[in-house]
Amino acid sequence: MEPQSVYDFTIKDSKGNDVDLSLYRGKVLLIVNVASKCGLTNNNYTELNELYQKYKEHGFEILAFPCNQFGGQEPGTNDEIVDFVCTRFKSEFPIFDKVEVNGENTAPLYKFLKKAKYGIIGDNIQWNFAKFLVDKNGQAVDRYYPTTSPLNIEQREGLAKEMDSQSEKDPQSVFEFTVKDAKGNDVDLSIYMGKVLLIVNVASKCGMTNSNYVELNQLYEKYKEQGLEILAFPCNQFGEEEPGSNDQILDFVCTRFKSEFPIFDKIEVNGKNAAPLYKFLKKGKWGILGDDIQWNFAKFLVDKNGQAVDRYYPTTSPLTIERDIKRLLGVL
């Protein structure tokens, strides 16, 4: 699969260590190709520092990538570059391994960024200090040219608008939700970040209970080590086939099926009291007759970025979903 966000990339830091960009998930990023001997160096580093100090506590990160393709203006080693930046500008944002941003050896991250946001005359980076603004979902939402000063990005409501909207936006992924477990404890779904999820509304007294739990167990045992998690939400809205307490449901599932995947608090999935998570899932994937869940054991397949990529009806057996799960896991 082609990368879907910047979080799908692993890059090198200035010491040659691998850095998984998923560690920046949920942050706004400004990605810049930098140089130490450019006429734009002083102004850019000074203003980048100002932006970083102003917004770093609000979920903002600057990722700086040295590049020597423009006028040979970043000739030093990684150690020399880091020493220059830290000594002269006292910059605190990370400086990564030197890369190429154009040509046949273009870094994969820059291929992704340029494909997402073309320039006026093509996708090539024009010079040192081109800038990509990336939202908290890892998508490039704007591209700024080398002559655009960092502070001008803020004034043009690029960065400021993106930062101010953090608390106002509708949820963008399932990882932004907090749910209750069967014991009433809060569970932040961000703990599943980077995993493929199968989210199912379950019931204990349904005609489909046995086959679904048996096959869900099979899927879980087969793929849990590859990054699959099944999240089961009891619901009593369909034929009142989940009437028990949370403790009774847990005892039933553990005793009869020996299921190891988590069982959460009983919820509603339709109507005005529908759980916020299910409102999000249904909005992301409509059914044939609307967004309502039809019955017990409807299933949502969620990718590693927390997006609902498929919806399966109650009569769809879990094992028929295996191919889709493997595709998202990258299991051949």
What is d(CA 87, CA 94) in angstroms, rounded to the nearest whole number?
Answer: 14
Query: Is residue 206 flagged as an active site residue?
Result: yes
Torsion from C-alpha of 261, 258, 276, 3, nearest 10 degrees = 30
Contact status, residue 189 vs residue 224, Cβ threshold 8 Å: no
Structure tokens, 233: 């939400």
Contact status, residue 295 vs residue 194, Cβ threshold 8 Å: no
Contact status, residue 294 vs residue 313, Cβ threshold 8 Å: yes
What is d(CA 313, CA 315) in angstroms, rounded to the nearest whole number?
Answer: 5
Structure tokens, 27: 């942050």
Contact status, residue 264 vs residue 234, Cβ threshold 8 Å: yes
Q: Which of 38, 67, 86, 206 is catalytic?
A: 206
DSSP for 97-113, written as a single string: -----SSTT--HHHHHH
Residues in the chain: 332
What is d(CA 36, CA 18) in angstroms, rounded to the nearest whole number?
Answer: 23
Contact status, residue 219 vs residue 261, Cβ threshold 8 Å: no
What is d(CA 305, CA 321) in angstroms, rounded to the nearest whole number?
Answer: 19
Which three-class secondary structure state does DSSP give residue 62? strand
Q: Tell me the catalytic residues.
A: 206
